[in-house]
Amino acid sequence: MNWTDRFSIAGRTALVTGGSSGIGAEIVKVFADAGARVIATGQSQTRLTAVAATTGCETIVADISTAEGCNALVKNALALSPRIDILVNSAGVALVGSVLSYSAEDWDRTMAINLRAPFLLAKGLAPAMIAAKAGKIINISSQTGVIALPDHAAYASSKGGLNTLTKSLMTELAPHNIQVNAICPTVVMTDMGKKIWSPPEKSGPMIAATPLGRFGEPIEIADMALYLASPASELVNGALMMIEGGYSSI
Contact at 8 Å (CB) between 221 and 185? yes
In Å, what is the CA distance from 110 to each residue of 31, 40, 88, 94?
27, 21, 18, 7
Give per-residue pLDDT as tens, 24-39: 999 999 999 999 999 9
Split into its structural domains, the chain has a count of 1
What are 142-153's pLDDT values in tens digits? 999 999 888 899
**pLDDT of 193 higher than 90:** no
Q: What is the per-residue pLDDT across 229-240, written as a single tens digit (0 to 9) for each?
A: 999 999 999 999
Is position 128 within any domain? yes
- Tell me the mean pLDDT in the region 166-191: 96
Q: Which has more pLDDT, 96 or 224?
A: 224
Is the pLDDT reported for residue 192 higher than 90? no
For 103, phi and psi rounded to 5 degrees?
-90, 155
SS3 39: strand
Q: Which of 90, 103, 104, 32 is nearest to 62 (CA)?
A: 90
Q: In this structure, are residues 237 and 182 in contact, taking their beta carbons and an 8 Å threshold?
A: no
Structural domain including 74 reads: 3-240
Stated pTM of the model:
0.96
pLDDT at residue 250, rounded to an integer? 85
For residue 49, is it within any domain?
yes
Show the beta-strand stretches assigned E in the chain: 13-16, 37-42, 58-61, 86-89, 135-140, 178-185, 240-243
pLDDT tens column, 66-87: 999 999 999 999 999 999 999 9
Identify which of 46, 2, 58, 56 has the alpha carbon closest to the alpha carbon of residue 21: 46
Residue 195's pLDDT band (boundaries 50, 70, 90)? Answer: confident
Q: Is residue 250 part of a domain?
A: no
Name the residue among 73, 70, 87, 71 with its Cα closest to residue 135.
87
In a domain, 245, yes or no: no
What CATH number is given to the structural domain containing 199? 3.40.50.720
Task: Give domain status of residue 23, yes or no.
Answer: yes
**According to the model, what pLDDT value does residue 40 have?**
98
The Cα–Cα gap between 47 and 29 comes to 14
CB-count exposure of residue 79 (10 Å: 0-12, 13-18, 19+): exposed
248 domain residue, yes or no: no
For residue 209, being part of any structural domain is answered with yes
pLDDT in tens, 87-141: 999 999 998 899 999 999 999 999 999 999 999 999 999 999 999 999 999 999 9
Instruction: Identify the active-site residue in 102, 155, 227, 247.
Output: 155
Domain for residue 249, yes or no?
Answer: no
**Is residue 247 annotated as part of the catalytic site, yes or no?**
no
Euclidean distance between CA atoms 116 and 193, whole angstroms: 22
Q: What is the CA radius of gyration of the chain?
A: 17
